[in-house]
Structure 1
Amino acid sequence: MPGSSPNTSVRERLLALVQLIGSMICLQFGSSLAKSLFPLFGPSGMVGLRTGFAAAALVLFFRSWNALSRRTLRLVMPYGVAIAGMNLCFYLALQRIPLGMTVAIEFTGPLFLAFIGSRRLADIGWIALTVLGLCLLLRPDTAALPDMMGVAYAVGAAICWALYIIFGKRLAGRISPGHASALGLLCSASILFLPCFVPAFGVGLHHPLLLGMAVLVALSSSALPYALEMQAMHRLSARDLGVLYSLEPVCAACAGILLLHETLSLLRMGGILCIVVASAGTVLTPRKTDPSGDLPEQL
């Protein structure tokens, strides 16, 4: 940071690293907890509760009612639709396939978005490594064939994540990050309110303890990660962010194993590792057109 001492910069950098890793841990803990609530609320109900409670928390925290206007809502609505689609597809996939596999497939959305328009020869190798990782994840092993509908939902989540990044980037400079996150979730919650939130909330009234756990999912999966990531983004370079984000499939696999007692074969764990390495390689390979070595804007 300008004007700060080297020691201060190191301290702030370490704090940002802790914040970003903490965000990933919170997100995967929330996803694991959400899956344990599927028997009562179902995946669509959990999406409605997560989005609704998280939207309320962020709107109150950022006081985003001050930024509400017809023009702002028109700008934010595509972003909110992408959030709704991404979360709904993610939870529908999570119902059918392991958490680590779901996140690894979903992660290919922003990863392939980073490849679009690239002129680097090295990216051909990273694309090939990503495809290899997907082949290992989805290999037709008769003993453990993945649920293809779950895979399709995960692919849908990947597409929505790419759209989420595109629409989110369009908001840059037009709305503050806090208001964009809060109002985006508010738009998403309004889409899911009647079909997802209301039925699940009605069920939750008869099970207040589990409804409280759904609030915890909303805070740990959406509200807290958003807050931590926004703090970290002010302190870390785009390259650092990209490398750290590539750890997310690994965090998801570990959370699935530790919290949900899910198991993945060594080959499928190798597939997740291939996708992680491809992501980090995309970030770290020098760019001829970008001497700073930063990530493309969409990441």
Structure 2
Amino acid sequence: MPASSANNPVRERLLALTQLVGSMICLQFGSSLAKSLFPLFGAAGMVGLRTAFAATALMLFFRSWHAISRRTVRLVLPYGIAIAGMNLCFYLALERIPLGMTVAIEFTGPLFLAFIGSRRLADIGWIVLTVLGLCMLLRPDTAALPDMMGVLYAVGAAICWALYIVFGKRMTGKLSPGHACALGLLSSAVILFVPCFTPAFLIGLHHPLLLGMAVLVALSSSALPYALEMQAMHRLSARDLGVLYSLEPVCAACAGILLLHETLSPLRMGGILCIVLASAGTVLTPGKKGPPNEQPELPQ
């Protein structure tokens, strides 16, 4: 085999790693930018704008209107409801507590879903580590007690993320990933159109520059990460994806510190790291192999 051919898998793996890390950076940059727009549009308004603009971009990119039918609507609607609930709860939590804490709590949704589906004894230890991390995150220390309403919204986002995975897996083999993403966001945008999108869009008409920033949030938080993640999914194993996604709370904490000037005490940073280690440990612990083509669902 020529040397260039032998190196192709290595180049593809490096490309996939770059794409996935890039998607996480884009996502956290978009979340940070979105939080800076909360004073004008509000958290719910930003969810409506982000979802509608991202759905429009993905529908145009994948030309998903060709896939619309009664069957696909019934298939995609629960998925879209989960996306709407996940994004709305996430932004309402982000309005009240730091970005790193929000993402760490939200991350427990798919993590506990993985625990439920596992029969490994070692996972008991990872559950204990996750609970310890949550206690460290939520325990009062030198800083003020976190806003409990924000914590509850983050828990709601975690539950919706778990439902997003369940409903997303139901579409495996029935709808292409691109159409599933686009139509899921479209149904979510329809649900949020009147209560969230319309009021924010009317406000944005008087502030076109900030409305343009909302479009940037949609592209960086949804459209671009989806495109990068779907490319990476074809090149990385489920094990690799699980480990890399465990870095997301750390990326969120760094983005909050660098872009939003948020601060987290060493205790709460330790809590985030415990959740990250539990996620990585769940993926890396030897166990029964799943189906060869099994792929994890991607977060929104």
Is the TM-score greater than 0.5?
Answer: yes
Q: Deviation of residue 130 (structure 1)? A: 0.2
**Corresponding residue for residue 204 of structure 2:** 204
**Corresponding residue for residue 50 of structure 1:** 50
Q: 2 CA distance for matches of 1:167 and 1:5?
A: 39
Q: 2 CA distance for matches of 1:231 and 1:14?
A: 12
Q: Deviation of residue 140 (structure 1)? A: 2.4
Q: 2 CA distance for matches of 1:201 and 1:138?
A: 35
Q: Structure 1 pair 275/296, CA: closer, same or farther in 2 (3 Å)?
A: farther
- Cα deviation per residue 1:184-228 (whole Å; 9 max; x = unaligned)? 000000000000001000000000000000000000000000000
Q: Deviation of residue 294 (structure 1)? A: 9.7
User: Would the aligned equivalents of 1:52 and 1:186 in 2 still touch at CA under 8 Å?
Assistant: yes
Q: 2 CA distance for matches of 1:5 and 1:127?
A: 43
User: Would the aligned equivalents of 1:114 and 1:298 in 2 still touch at CA under 8 Å?
Assistant: no
Q: Deviation of residue 70 (structure 1)? A: 1.1
User: Would the aligned equivalents of 2:62 and 2:178 in 1 still touch at CA under 8 Å?
Assistant: yes
Q: 2 CA distance for matches of 1:209 and 1:144?
A: 35
User: Would the aligned equivalents of 1:58 and 1:223 in 2 still touch at CA under 8 Å?
Assistant: yes
**Corresponding residue for residue 88 of structure 2:** 88
Q: 1 CA distance for matches of 2:278 and 2:142?
A: 27
**Corresponding residue for residue 97 of structure 1:** 97
- For 2:176, the aligned partner's letter is S
Q: Deviation of residue 6 (structure 1)? A: 2.3
> Could you state the TM-score of these two structures normalised by the residue count of structure 2?
0.96
**Corresponding residue for residue 72 of structure 2:** 72
Paired-residue identity, %: 85
**Corresponding residue for residue 171 of structure 2:** 171
Q: 2 CA distance for matches of 1:297 and 1:42?
A: 32
User: Would the aligned equivalents of 1:48 and 1:189 in 2 still touch at CA under 8 Å?
Assistant: yes
User: Would the aligned equivalents of 2:233 and 2:295 in 1 still touch at CA under 8 Å?
Assistant: no
**Corresponding residue for residue 5 of structure 1:** 5
User: Would the aligned equivalents of 2:111 and 2:279 in 1 still touch at CA under 8 Å?
Assistant: yes
Q: Deviation of residue 142 (structure 1)? A: 6.3
**Structure 2 unpaired stretches of 5+:** none
User: Would the aligned equivalents of 1:284 and 1:293 in 2 still touch at CA under 8 Å?
Assistant: no
User: Would the aligned equivalents of 1:113 and 1:298 in 2 still touch at CA under 8 Å?
Assistant: no
Q: 2 CA distance for matches of 1:293 and 1:208?
A: 49
**Corresponding residue for residue 283 of structure 1:** 283
Q: Structure 1 pair 291/105, CA: closer, same or farther in 2 (3 Å)?
A: closer
**Corresponding residue for residue 234 of structure 1:** 234
**Corresponding residue for residue 109 of structure 1:** 109
- For 2:226, the aligned partner's letter is Y
Q: 1 CA distance for matches of 2:16 and 2:118?
A: 29
User: Would the aligned equivalents of 2:107 and 2:249 in 1 still touch at CA under 8 Å?
Assistant: yes
Q: Structure 1 pair 181/296, CA: closer, same or farther in 2 (3 Å)?
A: closer
- The alignment covers a number of residue pairs equal to 295
Q: Structure 1 pair 296/236, CA: closer, same or farther in 2 (3 Å)?
A: closer
Q: Deviation of residue 5 (structure 1)? A: 2.5
Q: Structure 1 pair 295/147, CA: closer, same or farther in 2 (3 Å)?
A: farther
Where does 1:140-179 land on structure 2 (aligned, <5 Å)? Answer: 140-141=140-141, 143-179=143-179
SS in 1 for 2:149: helix
Q: Deviation of residue 144 (structure 1)? A: 1.7
Q: 1 CA distance for matches of 2:65 and 2:107?
A: 32
Q: 1 CA distance for matches of 2:295 and 2:129?
A: 19
- Structure 1 residue runs of 4 or more that deviate by more than 4 Å after TM superposition: 291-299
- For 1:164, the aligned partner's letter is Y
- For 1:290, the aligned partner's letter is K
Q: Structure 1 pair 107/294, CA: closer, same or farther in 2 (3 Å)?
A: farther
Q: Structure 1 pair 101/269, CA: closer, same or farther in 2 (3 Å)?
A: same
Q: 1 CA distance for matches of 2:25 and 2:117?
A: 32
- Cα deviation per residue 1:98-131 (whole Å; 9 max; x = unaligned)? 0000000000000000000321111000000000
- Cα deviation per residue 1:45-69 (whole Å; 9 max; x = unaligned)? 0000000000000000000011011
Q: Structure 1 pair 286/50, CA: closer, same or farther in 2 (3 Å)?
A: same
SS in 2 for 1:76: helix
Q: 1 CA distance for matches of 2:182 and 2:97?
A: 30
**Structure 1 unpaired stretches of 5+:** none
Identify the range of structure 1 (148-157 vs 133-142) with the bigger mean alpha-carbon deviation.
Answer: 133-142
User: Would the aligned equivalents of 1:32 and 1:260 in 2 still touch at CA under 8 Å?
Assistant: yes
Q: Deviation of residue 291 (structure 1)? A: 7.9
Pair 1:269-2:273 in alignment: no
Q: 2 CA distance for matches of 1:210 and 1:150?
A: 25
Where does 1:174-189 land on structure 2 (aligned, <5 Å)? Answer: 174-189=174-189
CA root-mean-square deviation: 1.6
**Corresponding residue for residue 131 of structure 1:** 131
